[in-house]
Amino acid sequence: MDKYAVWGNPIAQSKSPQIHQIFAQQTGQDLQYVAMLGDEVKFEQQLLDFFAQGAKGCNITSPFKQRAYQLAQVYSKRALTAGACNTLKMLDNGDLYADNTDGAGLVSDLQRLTWLKPNQSILILGAGGATQGVLLPLLQAKQNIIIANRTVSKAQQLAGKFRQYGNISAVQLDEISVQHFALIINATSLGLKGQTVPINPEILRLADAVYDMQYAKRSDTPFIAWAKSLGVQNISDGFGMLVGQAAHSFALWRGVMPDVTSLIEQGIL
């Protein structure tokens, strides 16, 4: 049976094994997919051992996306621009292929929500790895992007790097001018600490839609709860993005794209 895994630390909370099991059943594929706890020190050796034992591919999650990227020999363009990978595939010639399906997962989910109209203005909060992973697909979807970050130099660096792909600029988190955005995406890690993002609430109130790349089981993330309390009509956490990135990884490995909508909307997980 072909073997796959998700590597991260912590990893016990991961829903990826259940998601890929559902995809495998749905598409009639015979495969095994498990959660693997990466070691902060020995991660590279663990991953090489995993593939030496015949594994076909894996997902990579926090904090190993950059370290896994370094182990590959071949890269997709979206992995190269992200500088990180969430997906590895063993090629027939023994080379490791690195891909990044996070941005495709986000774009698919925004399309499912019908929030992705071309040439609209979107605000992305945060300029870390999560933001860098999604910028190329969002610019390719013709979104005009403003990145706001506490450390404005990181937002400026990203804007400079991605300007060749579309309309993108940077601003300091507490200097965003009050204006209308079609979509505001939270890509900071503040939700993990139970916190919202310190921006002027008026900016959220004016937004057509608010998306949090994080998700919380059976509850609202702090950012989603805040947007709700301000009366934002269209809100979503990142569960659909998680399922979407998984589906794009599955398609890369197995050559068949699973149906994500039923999984997201049935609320099975």
Residues that bind ligand ATR (CB under 6 A): 126-130, 149-151, 154, 173, 188-190
For ligand ATR, which is the closer residue by CB, 112 or 154?
A: 154
For ligand ATR, which is the closer residue by CB, 190 or 263?
A: 190
Query: Which residue type does 125 have?
Result: L
Q: Shortest distance, CB of residue 132 to ligand ATR, whole angstroms?
A: 8
Q: Shortest distance, CB of residue 237 to ligand ATR, whole angstroms?
A: 15
Q: Shortest distance, CB of residue 193 to ligand ATR, whole angstroms?
A: 7
Closest CA to 86 of 208, 214, 245: 245
Query: Which position among 3, 56, 65, 142 bears the catalytic label?
Result: 65
Q: Shortest distance, CB of residue 162 to ligand ATR, whole angstroms?
A: 15
Which stretches does DSSP call E strand in 63-187?
Answer: 74-75, 87-90, 96-99, 121-125, 144-149, 168-172, 183-186
Q: Which residue of this chain has its Cβ atom nearest to ligand ATR in the complex?
A: 128
Token pair 């309390």 is found at 229
How far is the C-alpha of 119 from the C-alpha of 136, rounded, in Å?
15
For ligand ATR, which is the closer residue by CB, 128 or 166?
A: 128
Token pair 């598409």 is found at 27
Contact 147, 121 (CB under 8 A): no
65 catalytic per annotation: yes
Query: Per the structure block, which two tokens stand in for 250?
Result: 């599955």
Give CA 30 to chain center in angstroms: 26
For ligand ATR, which is the closer residue by CB, 85 or 263?
A: 85
Q: What positions carry a catalytic annotation?
A: 65
